[in-house]
Chains A and B, each alone.
Chain A
């Protein structure tokens, strides 16, 4: 079974600074995707960024980028130029496998507070 671990329950960062959220996972699969989802205080979860395991290049989406280390099974999220609107819970997520349909396994989450 896939497991996803986020070791930082809470983090804070000053506005305009950079912060990195950690995620490690365990899987026996070779080709897979990894996701970071954001859940703002309004509660609607949205996809932040997606990484394909077979791509060596780290994914980037504007101020968001990942550091994907496949051998180490590590998938961290870097937020540059942090903004107040980045305050949210962040979840690392892993698909359940080839026969698991749309099931996602989530990490425990990291609560990020961006301070003015």
Chain B
């Protein structure tokens, strides 16, 4: 089985712009979670989608949004970018409905905001 893929791998944007990141889960997995990883804050949960529905959301401003398509691929969008949004964005897919199941992570998208 192919692993979790994320595109693009690297992005450079300027403040005020918006960005869309994509995540393709492992075939058959219906859950996709997104995490933001920064040196200062560590790994923080953004949100999770399961069967096209957002099931849970972390403590992030409304500028961060996401969606999931019928093929389970997910996108996250960040509008009005700020310098503090520079981070590694990881997505994880799971075949189960709870975090007791193993989650499989993608390689991440490195976003730099100038």
Chain A interface residues toward B at CB < 8 A: 32-33, 37, 42-47, 50, 91, 95-96, 98, 100-109
Q: Which chain B residue lies CB-closest to A99?
A: B56
Count: A-B pairs, CB below 8 Å: 72
Is B105 a contact partner of A44 (Cβ separation < 8 A)? yes
Q: Nearest chain B CB to A77's CB is how many angstroms away?
A: 16
Q: Mark B96-113, 1 if CB is under 8 A from A, else 0.
A: 111111110111100000
A50 to B98, CA, bound (A): 14
- Known: A101-B56, A102-B99, A102-B101. Is A45-B90 also a contact (CB below 8 A)? yes
Is B99 a contact partner of A109 (Cβ separation < 8 A)? no
A26 to B58, CA, bound (A): 18
Q: Which chain A residue lies CB-closest to B50?
A: A101
